[in-house]
Each structure stands twice: as structure tokens, then as C-alpha cells.
């Protein structure tokens, strides 16, 4: 007689009224990404594995482009390199028409290497070096000035190169949200930004072409963008009347929320986060109300990072162990930890089993493979009992992980892209010991062999 | 051998619903848990239960031993099970 299929015994006490409407949602499973079976992905590329969907990236970009141009046609996206600067990802955004938004010499070099001309690079950030700026100015990149010392340095470079840098002024402001990002740029309310403009005009060594702000990240309140846009457009109006300079662009930075769920959030992100149309409507409203805008139609730049890439990225991981904790909770140990999933510090990611569920659903803690107490991927989620070797899909993970991950204890895994044609391409190879030792040097007297 | 009284008072339904009339708590269990619980009720010991599960289900000894122990930890946590002195003594000797 054939034996019956087995799954681990479980027992759970019923707690009246404890789990909320959403907390009880029974997890389903997902055994493929863009129709490529997870099993095949793991067999061919190993586990853990980052997987990006080219189809999702392109779809999301078009969706954002459509949403914003519906309200204000003169819109342009600058792909935020720090959010994900793998070449294949950047190239996809560039093919869709995005410029590059960079915040360091390294990112600038990356954009140039991909063939993006300086004229299509927006250079932000508080730490541009003189060498970075010399290159950016000579290649006519747009440089958004963060502080006065940078302004002075740019004036120096202007004289040195005999070429006027094309600059914007980064502005920080109160948009009614907390925390207010006030450390970057010049303040709006205390007129520091106006004075920076005045200084640029009197210096007459820089070509002022726009205003920039980045009000924060994962902003769940679209109205904050309305306020930000209205304030920048108001300032642009003053610049025109007071100095006779008509600005070419208003850059509202990034910060639009993805569908992730913040650690402190109760509702899941796909319900709590506003959709891109709501942000577009808020910004469009400010633009269409502004007299400066009606007259001059400046370019609206957006540097959305996480909202454009987060949902296109998945982390596939496998169960390497299970245990019951002293408090009776179930624990799963995965082969992917906080070393490669930096965003688990901010988000409660979605964990989806990659095969049909047999075991009972229980409260489960999900750990990574590191020998550190902090290596917790998710606290107490309702999760089915999985077997060793079973796979889990963690999502959305497309933003900030393959840039902020650490090489710690073990190697960083393969990253693959599922192309629009359904091919799977490695876009970053798994590291080897050779890669890691490549930059190390062992002084002669410490050589043991 | 045998289980304690807390355990014997449990009312078990066939579809995996467990009720403790003394505390008013109710529990859900799956099929394998039901098998183990009814074995325990009948007074079977660990090795007997493990053999019983292995005879009927597609599972390795390693796997069922591990799962059995986790399951007992949970029962203890809910105060549904205590090892008898005899069982403890047996464990201790090993
Ligand atoms: C200047 C600037 N632009 C754009 C972004 C992208 O932000 P997000 O991913 O929140 O859209 C950042 C992120 O820190 C930033 O500093």
C-alpha cells in the first residue's frame, strides 16, 4: 500500500479576535516569475538568487510616464542610480527615455560608461569632488548645488575652464511631512534658497537653469508634492521677476512610495501606498495652477527610484533549517539574510512559498543564515510549514538592495534578468573568493606559506 | 509510560478541532498531529508513535523524530502534555 504524503504535525491555539482582517490573509504560493519556474531558476542559477523582470520595469516606467504626462506633458525622468545601478537595469530605464540622476563620481562614471552624455546627467548630492565637477562641467551636466562651498567651488571651476556650469539650486522646505529633510540644499522658508540664487546671479559665473528638491523618501502623502511643487514654482516666479532669469526645469526628486510595507505600518503596502496617479495629480495640480508654469512650461524632472524598480525585483531563497523556539514559535532559516536584503531594516517584505502549501499555517519567524542575532528577515508572520529545500520568494526587493548589500560572511549571489522575450540573463555573477581577495594585499612578513 | 491527565481530557473532533473543557481553549491541528495525539491518548510511547507514523506516511526517521520533538515542545508550551517521571527517567538514562 502506498504511504500517505507527510507534512509536519502542528497545533495552534485559537485566539478570539486577535488577527485583523488583513493579518489573517492566507498566504498563497507562486511557483514562477514571468512564467519561468522558480525550480528551474534555482537549478540553473543557485539559491539565493535575485531576479528582475524586464517586463515589469518597462511597464512601470510607461505607467509613470503616462500618469504624469496626462497632467503635465513636459515631464522627464532621471533614473536614480543609487536605487539600483546594475548596468542592465540602468540601460533598461535609459532605453525607455530616462536621463541619469547620479550622486557621486562613481555613479557619474557608470552613466558615462553606458553611453549617457553629460547633457543627460543630473548630478546631485552633497559630496561632489573638484575632479567630479571638472568633468561634469566640461561635459555640460546639470549640477544641483547642495551648499555654499560647492557654489564657490563651481565658480572657481567656471573660471578655470572658461565655461559656465549649468546649475540648479537644491531647496529644502516644510511640506507638512515628518521628518523634514533639511540637511540638503538651501532652505525655502528662511529665504536661504533665494539668497543662494541672488549670490549666483551677482557672481555671474554660473548659468542658473533650475530648482531641485527631494523632500524625503517613501512619502505616503501625495499632497506633500503639491506643496513642494507650488513652493518651487513660486520661487521660480520670483527669480523671473527679480532677476530676469527664466528657469528651464523644476526637479521634484524622488520619494514616491513603492508597494512595500514599512515595518511600523499596519496595512500592507499594496493597500496603504497611494498609486502613482495620485502623486501625478498632486504635482500636476501645482503646475497647472502656477502662472510661471503657464507662461514658460518648464521641464518637470522626477527622480523616482523605489517606486519604479521595487516591484520588478524578487529574491528567491531556500529553507535550510527549521526549529521551534523556546516560546513555541516556529522558525525558518533561509539561505538569504540581511547581508543581501538591506531593506529588511525598513520593510516587512512579502514572503511567498514557491510551491503548493501542504503544512498548516502558523506564526513563524524567518531568519537568515548569518551567525548574528540581528539576522531576522521577518518577525512573526503567518506562514505555512515548509520542508528543507523548499523555496520562498521575497518581494518587492528591487530598490536599494543590489546597491546597499554587503559582502559579509559569504558571497553575494547571482542576479538575473528575465527579459521581455522570456530569456534569463545573468546581469551580475555570484562572487567568488578570487573576486573578494582581488583588492587585498598580504604584507610579506605575514605570508604563512 | 502514558500521558498525563491534562491531555486525556481533550475533546478531539475528526476534522482537526481540539477543545480543552477545563481551560476553554480550543486548538486546530492537522492530520499528522491528530495521529500523534490519538497515539498519545492510547498511551503509546515515542518510539511506538514514530514507528506508527513511518508505517503510514512517506517520511524519513530523521524528519519525523525532529518534527515529533518540536510538536511535543508545543504541547508542553500549551500545558497539554507533561512527561511522566518514568519517561523523564528513561530520557535521563540515555
Ligand atoms: C536626490 C535624490 N533623488 C532621488 C532619490 C530617489 O529616491 P526614492 O527611491 O525614494 O524615489 C534620492 C534618494 O535618496 C535622492 O537623494
CB contact under 8 A, B25 and A14: yes
Residue B62 forms part of a structural domain: yes
Residue B25 forms part of a structural domain: yes
pLDDT in tens, A327-345: 888 999 999 999 999 999 9
Domain that holds residue B76: 5-85
Q: Which pTM does this prediction carry?
A: 0.83
3-state secondary structure of A262: strand
Residue B90 forms part of a structural domain: no
Q: Please report the pLDDT score of residue A15 as a whole number.
A: 65
Contacts of A330 in chain B (CB under 8 A): 70
Residue B94 forms part of a structural domain: no
Report the distance separating Cα A335 and Cα A322, nearest Å: 12
The better pLDDT of the pair B6, B54 is held by B54
Q: Domain containing B79 — which CATH number? A: 1.10.10
Would you say the CB of residue A303 lies under 6 angstroms from ligand 1? Answer: yes
With CA atoms as reference, the chain A residue closest to B35 would be A9
Residues facing residue A417 across a β-bridge: A52, A425
Residue B19 forms part of a structural domain: yes
CB contact under 8 A, B26 and A4: no
ipTM metric: 0.85
Q: Please give the domain boundaries of chain A with CATH numbers for all domains.
A: 18-52+314-431 (2.40.37.10), 124-304 (3.20.20.10)
pLDDT band at A18 (very low <50, low <70, confident <90, very high): very low
Say how many residues make up chain B.
94
Contacts of B26 in chain A (CB under 8 A): 13-14
pLDDT band at A373 (very low <50, low <70, confident <90, very high): confident
CB contact under 8 A, B70 and A327: no
Centre of ligand 1 to C-alpha A81, Å, is 9
| Mutate-to-test residue for ligand 1 from A217, A342, A346, highest number of ligand atoms within 8 A of CB | A217
For A214, list phi and psi in degrees, rounded to 5.
-140, 100
Report the distance separating Cα A98 and Cα A277, nearest Å: 19
Place of cell 528582475: A52
CA distances from B66 to A321, B5, B44, B70 (A): 11, 25, 18, 6
Residue B92 forms part of a structural domain: no
3-state secondary structure of A146: coil
Q: How many structural domains comprise chain B?
A: 1
Would you say the CB of residue A216 lies under 6 angstroms from ligand 1? Answer: no
Report the distance separating Cα A395 and Cα A268, nearest Å: 12
Residue B93 forms part of a structural domain: no
Residue B74 forms part of a structural domain: yes
Atom of ligand 1 nearest to the CA of A303: 4
Would you say the CB of residue A185 lies under 6 angstroms from ligand 1? Answer: no
pLDDT in tens, A148-160: 999 999 999 999 9
Closest by Cβ to B67, choosing from A3, A5, A9: A9
Would you say the CB of residue A124 lies under 6 angstroms from ligand 1? Answer: yes
pLDDT in tens, A246-304: 999 999 999 999 999 998 888 888 888 999 999 999 999 999 999 999 999 999 999 99
Amino acid at each position: 500500500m502506498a504511504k500517505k504524503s507527510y507534512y509536519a504535525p502542528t497545533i495552534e491555539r485559537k485566539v478570539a479576535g486577535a488577527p485583523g482582517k488583513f493579518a489573517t490573509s492566507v498566504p498563497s504560493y507562486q511557483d514562477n516569475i514571468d512564467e519561468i519556474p522558480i525550480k528551474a531558476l534555482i537549478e540553473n542559477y543557485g539559491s539565493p538568487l535575485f531576479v528582475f523582470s524586464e517586463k515589469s520595469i518597462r511597464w512601470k516606467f510607461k505607467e509613470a510616464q503616462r500618469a504624469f504626462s496626462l497632467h503635465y506633458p513636459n515631464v522627464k525622468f532621471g533614473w536614480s542610480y543609487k536605487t539600483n545601478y546594475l548596468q542592465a537595469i540602468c540601460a533598461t530605464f535609459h532605453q525607455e527615455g530616462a536621463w541619469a540622476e547620479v550622486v557621486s563620481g562613481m555613479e557619474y562614471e557608470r552613466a558615462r560608461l553606458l553611453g549617457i552624455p553629460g547633457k543627460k546627467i543630473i548630478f546631485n548630492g552633497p559630496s561632489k569632488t573638484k575632479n567630479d565637477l571638472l568633468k561634469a562641467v566640461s561635459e555640460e551636466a546639470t549640477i544641483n548645488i547642495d551648499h555654499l562651498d560647492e557654489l564657490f567651488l563651481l565658480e572657481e571651476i567656471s573660471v578655470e575652464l572658461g565655461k559656465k556650469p549649468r546649475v540648479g539650486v537644491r531647496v529644502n522646505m516644510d511640506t507638512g511631512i515628518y521628518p523634514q529633510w533639511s540637511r540638503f540644499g538651501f532652505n525655502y522658508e528662511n529665504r536661504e534658497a533665494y539668497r543662494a540664487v541672488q549670490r549666483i546671479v551677482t557672481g555671474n559665473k554660473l548659468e542658473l537653469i533650475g530648482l531641485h528638491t527631494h523632500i524625503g523618501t517613501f512619502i505616503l502623502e501625495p499632497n506633500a508634492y503639491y506643496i513642494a511643487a507650488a513652493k518651487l514654482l513660486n520661487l521660480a516666479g520670483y527669480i523671473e521677476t527679480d532677476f530676469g532669469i527664466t528657469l528651464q526645469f523644476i526637479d521634484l526628486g524622488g520619494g514616491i512610495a513603492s508597494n512595500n510595507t514599512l515595518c511600523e505600518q499596519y496595512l500592507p503596502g499594496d493597500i496603504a501606498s497611494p498609486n502613482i496617479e495620485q502623486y501625478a495629480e498632486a504635482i500636476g495640480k501645482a503646475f497647472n495652477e502656477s502662472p510661471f508654469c503657464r507662461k514658460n512650461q518648464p521641464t518637470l524632472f522626477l527622480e523616482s527610484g523605489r517606486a519604479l524598480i521595487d516591484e520588478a525585483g524578487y529574491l528567491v531563497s531556500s529553507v535550510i533549517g527549521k526549529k521551534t523556539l523556546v516560546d513555541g514559535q516556529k522558525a525558518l532559516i533561509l539561505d538569504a539574510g540581511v547581508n543581501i536584503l538591506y531593506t529588511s531594516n525598513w520593510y516587512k517584505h512579502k514572503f511567498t512559498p514557491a510551491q503548493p502549501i501542504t503544512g498548516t499555517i502558523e506564526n513563524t519567524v524567518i531568519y537568515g543564515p548569518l551567525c548574528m542575532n540581528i539576522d531576522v528577515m521577518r518577525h512573526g508572520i503567518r506562514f505555512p510549514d515548509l520542508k528543507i529545500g523548499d523555496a520562498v520568494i521575497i518581494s518587492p526587493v528591487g530598490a536599494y538592495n543590489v546597491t546597499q548589500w554587503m559582502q559579509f560572511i559569504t558571497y553575494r549571489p547571482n542576479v538575473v534578468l528575465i527579459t521581455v522575450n522570456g530569456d534569463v540573463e545573468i546581469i551580475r555573477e555570484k562572487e567568488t573568493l578570487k573576486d573578494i581577495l582581488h583588492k587585498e594585499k598580504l604584507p610579506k612578513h605575514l605570508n604563512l606559506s | 509510560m502514558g500521558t498525563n491527565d491534562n491531555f486525556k481530557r481533550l475533546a478531539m473532533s475528526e476534522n482537526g478541532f481540539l477543545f480543552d473543557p477545563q481551560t476553554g481553549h480550543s486548538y486546530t491541528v492537522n492530520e499528522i498531529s491528530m495521529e500523534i495525539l490519538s497515539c498519545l491518548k492510547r498511551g503509546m510511547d515515542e518510539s511506538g508513535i514514530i514507528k506508527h507514523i513511518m508505517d503510514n506516511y512517506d517520511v524519513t526517521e530523521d524528519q519525523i523524530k525532529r518534527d515529533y520533538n518540536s510538536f511535543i515542545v508545543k504541547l508542553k508550551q500549551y500545558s497539554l502534555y507533561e512527561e511522566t517521571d518514568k519517561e523523564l527517567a528513561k530520557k535521563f538514562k540515555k
